[in-house]
Structure 1
């Protein structure tokens, strides 16, 4: 059984600061539509907040940690499974 507790808003804000990225850049890293979507993960308002899912966190951290060749191999495996995906190269 997988156990997962999402990072807190404070954890995500710290990560953003450590990376030196804007909300828009964090949105791109996590595969979100825009910075507004990213900021919902930082919100303390229970009516406007979101918990970061494990797969979204894994995706973003993989993009930070994997070398380009390994990441491309994973993307090719996703394509072989039927996905259409092109990531921003920035």
Structure 2
């Protein structure tokens, strides 16, 4: 069982940064999805993919993974880049 730990990104649809300090632990897929013969929907017997755990810090997420023997990979948070632009630049 392996997992990845990452920090929640900012929602692209809103300007606020609520819940961006939250760290998530998601389990990796152990079984490929296959289409259901009756409905055609994709699914698998892997229930760990549905589990997403949230933690207040990276250290807490790492401690959880180490306590339960879960191999983990920490995905670095990309740096925020701001595009500062003045309204007057629209008319140049």
TM-score normalised over the length of structure 1: 0.30
Higher strand share: 2
Higher relative contact order (CA 8 A, sep 6+): 2
Select the structure of larger CA radius of gyration: 2
